[in-house]
């Protein structure tokens, strides 16, 4: 058997965490602890790059599949990647080291525990994206709640307890129905192996209810309107690194779940519920964009913009067009980079001024120019300016939507305008204008690590904006086969 590269990707961060756990955590060792964490996650990143190089994009078969008996006669531990999941794994391994570098500035106490939580989180997230068994998927999906709950609750802001509870209970409530659905699938088909389920299909009689059960979980996690309210709270209270993880990776689990499970396993039901998704997505795009316009807290504004962006993602997925789904995936990757960067940008000024209110700032362009330039770049990427990765995603999604449903596409396009409005207005109020608050003069520009993190995020944002081919090549075949399978599923059952 070949080198189990996926299992190593999953296990490596946990091993790092274990190592951190056993090193004594006094003040001095926090320093080495950070390097241990950074080293582990960096190795993981290079390992995933290596995975991408080895990956064969010309087939939609799952690759690097590992299968072991886990619970006899019941569940096998099975992992593997296809074009869709590999990008999310890369995103996870790319964002985590940046998170770890960023803790320098924001986390003051219990650093090594924080790093342990982040590393364990990484393990679980990679597990989510490469598991090929529903129970294993559920296991990783739910397990991620524990470290995130602690990250928000221990290192969060003033209302951290409320937010942590809301986050945990909302997502748990959504997920338990998915567990019922998974067990039901087991009794219908005698297996929870995703590949086998793709081949055998699920009885049409049950698809609608099962789809709804999965939907309840993914809708909360995405989050879709009207169950999005946990997200702004969680974002506002989470420490910067926590917000970054939440926005960049956690939200993507649901989008990934929609593609992999809702479309893949329940094509007939997806066809029936597409109008529901369209309606909720359009409401999310318009409504939360308007909500974002009136926010006074920078983090909350970006959180609402995340909901709107995820609205595009769900819209794109359920167009069942090649462009639409490709767009959704690129939008998710791009949102992962851009929202991470925006939260870091907020974190940078928050660390200096200890305020997230937009009113506090204004006219800082002359004081911290480097920051202003990078913030500008990410603002433009968030509103989807051509030349940034945000544009590619949004454009493809809207193209897919126009092919499928004209009205929905027109309304969604209006969202782009509101999106531009709130992002630019935010930027104007924070960076431009007169310098009224004299305290701001003491602010210093980006330090080395901040500059490094933001540049790391800026490079792929621009690169994929101009040249999205590497992404599209990776996912193209997987998506076209998924759509074929979907159409076959819809046709054969009706």
Partner 1 sequence: MENLHLVLPEIFLSLSIMFLLILGVFKKNSSRLVQSLSLAALIVTAVITFNETIGINETKLFNNSIVIDYLSSLMKIITLLATFLVLIISSNYLKTFQIFKIEYPILILSSVLGMMVMINSNDLIVFYMGLELQSLALYVLATFNRDQIKSSEAGLKYFVLSALSSGLLLYGCSLIYGFTGSTNFNVIANQLNSNEYALTFGIVFILVGLAFKISAVPFHMWAPDVYEGSPTSVTLFFTMVPKIAALTVFIRFLYVPFLNLIDQWQMILIFLSIASMLFGAIAAIGQTNLKRLVAYSSIGHVGYALAGVAAGTNDGIQSSVIYITIYVLMNLGLFSCLLMLKRDNNYYEKIDDLSGLSKNHPMLALSLLIILFSLAGIPPLAGFFAKFYVFKAVIEQSMYFLAIVGLLSTVVAAFYYLRLIKIMYFDEQKEKYDTDHGFWLKFSLTASTLLILIYFIFPSQLIEVVSRINII
Cα distances from 277 to residues 177, 226, 267, in angstroms, run 18, 12, 14
Spell out, one character per residue from 184 to 203, where the chain touches partner 1: x when CB under 8 A holds, - when not: x-xx----------------
Q: Say whether residue 18 binds partner 1 (CB under 8 A).
A: no
Task: Give strand pairing partners of 357.
Answer: 297
Q: Say whether residue 183 binds partner 1 (CB under 8 A).
A: yes
Q: Say whether residue 53 binds partner 1 (CB under 8 A).
A: no
Q: Using the rule CB under 8 A, which residue among 180, 410, 417, 491 binds partner 1?
A: 180
Q: Provide the minimum distance between the beta carbon of 305 and partner 1 in the complex, in angstroms, as a whole number.
A: 28
Q: Say whether residue 81 binds partner 1 (CB under 8 A).
A: no
Q: Say whether residue 160 binds partner 1 (CB under 8 A).
A: yes
Cα atoms in the Cβ-side hemisphere of radius 13 Å centred on 186: 15
Distance CA 257, CA 372 (A): 36
Q: Using the rule CB under 8 A, which residue among 52, 165, 198, 452 binds partner 1?
A: 165
Distance CA 154, CA 160 (A): 8
**CA angle centred on 226, ends 223 and 230, rounded to 5°:** 55
Q: Say whether residue 70 binds partner 1 (CB under 8 A).
A: yes
Q: Say whether residue 78 binds partner 1 (CB under 8 A).
A: no
Q: Using the rule CB under 8 A, which residue among 11, 42, 65, 139 binds partner 1?
A: 139
Q: Is the dihedral of CA 487, 488, 492, 493 positive or negative?
A: negative
For residue 387, how many other CB atoms are within 10 A of its CB? 13
Q: Say whether residue 172 binds partner 1 (CB under 8 A).
A: yes
Q: Say whether residue 15 binds partner 1 (CB under 8 A).
A: no
Stretch that binds partner 1, among 88-96, 170-178, 335-343, 447-455 (CB under 8 A): 170-178
Q: Say whether residue 173 binds partner 1 (CB under 8 A).
A: yes
For residue 302, how many other CB atoms are within 10 A of its CB? 28
Do the beta carbons of residue 8 and residue 54 sit within 8 Å?
no
Q: Within 119-138, which residues bind partner 1 (CB under 8 A)? A: 135, 138
Q: Provide the minimum distance between the beta carbon of 134 and partner 1 in the complex, in angstroms, as a whole number.
A: 12
Distance CA 427, CA 145 (A): 33
Q: Say whether residue 212 binds partner 1 (CB under 8 A).
A: no
Kindly state the DSSP code that residue 59 receives in the 8-state scheme: -
Q: Using the rule CB under 8 A, which residue among 146, 195, 290, 451 binds partner 1?
A: 146
Q: Using the rule CB under 8 A, which residue among 18, 54, 161, 459 binds partner 1?
A: 161
- Convert 202-232 to b/e letters by CB count within 10 Å (16 or more is b): beeeebeebbbbbbbbbbbbbbbbebbebbb
Interacting residue ranges for partner 1, rule: CB under 8 A: 69-72, 74, 135, 138-140, 142-143, 145-146, 149-150, 153-154, 160-161, 164-165, 168-169, 172-173, 176-177, 179-180, 183-184, 186-187
């Amino acid at each position: 058997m070949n080198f189990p590269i996926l299992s190593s990707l999953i296990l490596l961060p946990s091993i790092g965490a274990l190592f951190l756990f056993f090193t004594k955590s006094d003040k001095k060792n926090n320093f080495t602890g950070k390097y241990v964490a950074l080293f582990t996650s960096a190795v993981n990143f290079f390992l995933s790059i290596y995975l991408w190089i080895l990956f064969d994009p010309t087939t939609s078969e799952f690759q690097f599949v590992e299968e072991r008996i886990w619970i006899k006669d019941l569940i096998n531990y099975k992992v593997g990647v296809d074009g869709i999941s590999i990008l999310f794994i890369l995103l996870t391994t790319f964002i985590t080291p940046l998170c770890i570098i960023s803790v320098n500035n924001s986390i003051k106490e219990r650093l090594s525990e924080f790093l342990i939580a982040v590393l364990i989180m990484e393990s679980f997230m990679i597990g989510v994206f490469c598991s090929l068994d529903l129970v294993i998927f559920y296991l990783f999906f739910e397990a991620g709640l524990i470290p995130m709950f602690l990250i928000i609750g221990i290192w969060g802001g003033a209302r951290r307890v409320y937010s942590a509870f809301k986050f945990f209970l909302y997502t748990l409530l959504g997920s338990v129905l998915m567990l019922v659905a998974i067990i039901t699938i087991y009794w219908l088909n005698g297996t929870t192996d995703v590949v086998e389920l793709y081949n055998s299909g699920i009885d049409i009689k049950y698809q609608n209810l099962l789809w709804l059960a999965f939907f309840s979980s993914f809708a909360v996690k995405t989050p879709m309107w009207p169950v999005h309210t946990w997200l702004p709270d969680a974002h506002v209270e989470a420490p910067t690194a926590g917000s970054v993880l939440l926005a960049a990776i956690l939200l993507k689990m649901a989008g990934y779940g929609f593609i992999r499970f809702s479309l893949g396993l329940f094509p007939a039901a997806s066809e029936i519920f597409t109008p529901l998704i369209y309606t909720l997505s359009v409401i999310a795009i318009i409504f939360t964009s308007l909500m974002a316009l009136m926010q006074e807290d920078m983090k909350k504004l970006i959180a609402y913009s995340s909901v709107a962006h995820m609205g595009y993602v769900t819209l794109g997925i359920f167009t069942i067009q090649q462009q639409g789904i490709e767009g959704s995936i690129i939008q998710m990757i791009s949102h992962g980079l851009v929202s991470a960067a925006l939260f870091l940008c907020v974190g940078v000024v928050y660390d200096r001024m200890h305020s997230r209110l937009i009113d506090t700032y204004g006219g800082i362009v002359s004081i911290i120019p480097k920051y202003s330039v990078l913030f500008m770049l990410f603002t433009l990427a968030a509103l989807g300016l051509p030349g940034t990765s945000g544009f590619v995603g949004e454009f493809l999604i809207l193209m897919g939507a126009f092919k499928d449903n004209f009205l929905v596409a027109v309304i969604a396009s209006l969202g782009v305008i509101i999106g531009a409005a709130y992002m630019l207005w935010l930027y104007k109020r924070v960076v431009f204008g007169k310098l009224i608050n004299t305290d701001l003069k003491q602010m210093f520009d980006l330090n080395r690590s901040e500059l490094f993190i933001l540049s790391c995020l800026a490079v792929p944002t621009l690169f994929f904006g101009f040249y999205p081919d590497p992404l599209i090549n990776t996912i193209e075949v997987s998506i076209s086969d998924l759509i074929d399978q979907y159409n076959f599923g819809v046709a054969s059952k009706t």
